[in-house]
Amino acid sequence: MGTSVAESAAPPSSAAILSPRERSALLAIARVIMPAGALIPAAGERAVDAMVAYLGRSPNVLRGYRTLLLGLETAARLRYGRSVGALDDAKLARLIEGWRTGDPARRTLLRLITAPLKAAHVDTPEVYAKIGIPWGVTPPPRPELPRFVTERTTRLAELDSDETLECDTVVIGTGAGGAVVAKELAERGHAVILLEDGEYHGRDVMNGHPLDMQRLLYRAMGATVAVGNTTIPIPIGRAVGGTTIVNSGTCYRAPARIFEEWRARFGLDVSADKMAPYYERVEEVLGVAPATRAQYGRTGDVIARGCDALGYKHAPLRRNAPGCDGQGLCCFGCPTDAKRSTNVSYVPLALKAGAHLFTGARVEQILVEGGRAVGVVARRHGPKPRTLTVRARAVVVACGSLLTPLLLEKNKLGLGSGQLGRNLSIHPAVAVVGFYDEQIDAHRSVPQGYAIEEFHDEGLLFEGAFAPPVVGAASFPVLGKPLVDLLEAYRNLVCFGFMIEDTSRGRVRRGPGGAPLITYWLNDHDAARLKRGIEILSRVYFAGGARKVLPNVHGFDSFESPADLERFRRAKLSARDFDLTAYHPLGTARMGRDPRTSVVDDDCQVHGTPGLYVTDGSVIPSSPAVNPQMTIMALATRASESIDRALG
């Protein structure tokens, strides 16, 4: 099996990093939230040491964690007059349970304190063996890369000096938007330079350990978060491939009604028929096809069983992973390269056609002369700083919806309408867990392989959502014995989720250190839609034979039977009562004909700045109602034709 970073690095004891009071508190918390079960041993020193070593890779993160711990310490002294580490287990358990079931602020703080500790305890081969699940994978050797990949890829750190280059088009970002434009234009004979902030990681480093992969492949170790009337994680990728390297590979076309809305509201010359050729080109490159039984496994079986009993439409999901063997690690780097994320599809095709890729290149400046975009300046900071200036006839920004508006705003571009950074939609999502008497072994299938399609027109899209035990341990809202019982029965669990076509909107601004500051307010309409989705999915579980359901909603640790759903239906819930995540930030540089209400035009060119284009999810003007990867790629393919015409 693979070796995790925590295991291989031989981290120093937390005693060398924490104060005695902090270490004593963490040991006590670990003991209470993860007691010994029938199979899993109690959490202790090893878990604390591993967690501190992991968080310590980012000094700011560890500093913030210690501040959170101080909050619980203060509460213990106010209530009992003693420190956390000095409390007996019963009193500490009462204090923690009070926070777990208390006001939203305390619930959030407790989750931030306990989640990394729970994950660190579970992330060992011993615990995985106890519950009968493989711990990571042995990464296969990286296949010998074609010469056109190695010769046309350069790490900025490897440059001997600062350089200035010229090309037809410079593309910033290698995800769903940027990689497509690079490939399309390079194959049309244009000189293309790709710039990527992250690095080019091969499958030889994909060891299947979520914590390792979060550090390697995700921006801010996956800790990108939206704040508002609730807190919603929005993890995004940072590597060649962008977020496509860590998504689940689900490939939907946007419904026809979405294009009609964009035509009516934003004046866009789009329709399902006009977009079909672009979707087809993308689907051919990615090898899109419905998931097979071997890929969706028994998760799909029990969902189908429940849907059939209730008369709901259901089907396998379409995915971009021909040859997938169902290891279930899509969100943590595919160890077989079966998932055709852009790092193994569009980027190599762009390089084969003559493009050149620079990695570790953070673009800080967009050059404008005479009102026209004429290039960019990328830099690498650190012990060996380098500057790369690229002069180009067209500049394509594809940094994603959370970073593109920051780059444009920093360079005072795209500001005319006042909409830059606004109109953020995210597809808020909820995961619901079903517990069955039978073994499901969902870890032997892809996380998203099956769908309930009955409720698409209601703005509810149900898809699989299974995750490895280390992620489940961190995210389950229960603590103590109920948590341990769940983990020991992991092979009997199904985790399915859904996202909503949100009408709520958020905003992205520049935050401390230049990081995105994301605000988002979930409205009552969307909260009601989330509640309905949880009820529907719970009924599907029970109809398919589930013994109980864990809805991940405050005040409802579990539904023991369909009768419990009546109390849930009557409950008045707010945004803070849902345990939300989101994976599809969109709309922060939205497309439209009118420069007074949009940032880019029908061709994805920034209003008022010829030669400057945006081709990532930020141009999507409203929620596409489905996973957006295919729509981003289809729109980028369409924009490539416009850029090609402009280049002549």
Residue pLDDT, tens place only, 556-566: 999 999 999 99
Catalytic residue (choose from 190, 201, 443, 584): 584
pLDDT higher than 70, residue 549: yes
Residue 445 near residue 326, CB atoms below 8 Å? yes
pLDDT band at 383 (very low <50, low <70, confident <90, very high): confident
Query: What residues contact residue 229 under an 8 Å CB cut-off, 6+ apart?
Result: 521, 522, 574, 575, 576
Q: List Cβ<8 Å contacts ≥24 apart for 13-19.
A: 13/45, 13/49, 14/45, 14/48, 14/49, 14/51, 14/52, 14/53, 17/52, 17/56, 17/62, 18/52, 18/66
At residue 619, the pLDDT reads: 98
Share of the chain above pLDDT 70, in %: 98
Where, residue-wise, is CATH 3.50.50.60 in the chain? Answer: 147-206+237-249+252-285+334-423+588-647
Terminal Cα distance for the chain, rounded: 53
Residue 609 near residue 371, CB atoms below 8 Å? yes
For residue 443, give the nearest of 37, 115, 34, 135 by alpha carbon: 135
At residue 6, the pLDDT reads: 41
At residue 382, the pLDDT reads: 84
Locate tokens 């070796």: which residue?
Answer: 3
**Structure tokens that stand for 289 in this block:** 């096809």
Q: How far apart are alpha carbons 74 and 66 in whole angstroms?
A: 12
For residue 378, give the nearest of 369, 368, 387, 391 by alpha carbon: 387
pLDDT higher than 50, residue 2: no
Where, residue-wise, is CATH 3.30.410 in the chain? Answer: 288-319+429-501+523-577
In this predicted model, which residue has the larger pLDDT, 244 or 17?
244
Largest CA distance in the chain: 76
At residue 519, the pLDDT reads: 98
Taking residues 186-200, what's their average pLDDT? 97
For residue 548, give the nearest of 532, 564, 536, 533 by alpha carbon: 564
At residue 3, the pLDDT reads: 44
Active site annotation includes 584: yes
At residue 8, the pLDDT reads: 44
At residue 14, the pLDDT reads: 72
Taking residues 326-331, what's their average pLDDT? 94
Angle (deg, nearest 10), helices 104-122 and 89-100? 120
Residue type, 111: R
At residue 352, the pLDDT reads: 98
Q: How far apart are alpha carbons 102 and 555 in whole angstroms?
A: 10
CATH code matching the domain that covers 147-206+237-249+252-285+334-423+588-647, chosen among 3.50.50.60, 3.40.50.360, 3.90.420.10, 3.30.460.80: 3.50.50.60
At residue 11, the pLDDT reads: 52
Taking residues 448-472, what's their average pLDDT? 96
What letter does residue 39 receive in the DSSP assignment?
Answer: S
Q: How far apart are alpha carbons 543 and 510 in whole angstroms?
A: 47
What letter does residue 246 receive in the DSSP assignment?
Answer: T
pLDDT band at 9 (very low <50, low <70, confident <90, very high): very low
CA angle (32 as vertex; 28, 33 as ends), nearest 5: 115
At residue 12, the pLDDT reads: 56
For residue 211, give the nearest of 331, 126, 321 by alpha carbon: 331
For 371-412, strand residue ranges (E) read 372-380, 386-397
29-81, pLDDT tens digit by residue? 999 999 999 999 999 999 999 999 999 888 888 999 999 999 999 999 999 99
CATH code matching the domain that covers 288-319+429-501+523-577, chosen among 3.40.50, 1.25.40, 3.20.20, 3.30.410: 3.30.410
pLDDT higher than 70, residue 440: yes
Q: How far apart are alpha carbons 493 and 487 in whole angstroms?
A: 9
At residue 7, the pLDDT reads: 43
Q: How far apart are alpha carbons 412 and 431 in whole angstroms?
A: 40
Beta strand 356-359 with 153-155 is parallel
For residue 404, give the nearest of 242, 530, 539, 282 by alpha carbon: 242
